[in-house]
A = this chain, B = another copy of it.
Amino acid sequence: MRFQIEKAVEMLSQTPSTVKSLLGNLSDDWTKNALDSENWSPFDIVGHLIHGEETDWIPRAEIILGQGENSIFEAFDRFAQFEKSKGKTINELIETFAVLRAKNIEILGEMNLDEEKLKLKGIHPELGEVTLEQLLATWTVHDLNHIKQLVTVLADRYAENVGVWKQYLSILQ
């Protein structure tokens, strides 16, 4: 599918309400506590999405568009949410994410991106040269990746309750 900024924005716009619909009315049994230390809880995942809004996507787009001497991105802290989300409720996190995302989509609109700007490049600290278009496509897929992670974590709560049906449910494999 050809990258078009309007189509990416369609997807970026839906994520806060999807996350709210998915998690907003669930008991703590569903949303709290990681399966184990390797896997994040829904609470952790929403915290991670917030941290991305604050430090990753738009700041990196601004670095690329600035085209200054140093267009190297700062490394992204994948574990910042464990500290930052402390004491919050999941509904507070979902609301914060929605506010930040709406603001970031507004900023994205103000960038008036065209084909030429989308080809501009920045330097990822580990991956090397990347384009603005790739950054924005990644932002979009990153949302979907974490919705996938959310439903996988939730499904796993019932991994044993489904009995012999387990073999039909790829999400439990």
Interface residues in chain A, defined as those with a beta carbon under 8 Å from any beta carbon in chain B: 1, 3, 7, 10-11, 13-14, 17-18, 20-22, 24-27, 29-30, 124, 127-128, 130-131, 133-134, 137-138, 140-142, 144-145, 147-148, 151-152, 154-155, 157-158, 161-165, 167-172
CB proximity of A24 to chain B, nearest CB, Å = 8
Do residues A11 and B154 form an inter-chain contact, with CB atoms below 8 A? yes
Copies of this protein in the complex: 2
Main secondary structure of the interface of A (DSSP, over half): helix
Q: How far is the CA of A119 from the CA of B55 in the complex (A)?
A: 50
Chain B residues with Cβ under 8 A from A11's Cβ?
26, 30, 154
Do residues B158 and A171 form an inter-chain contact, with CB atoms below 8 A? no
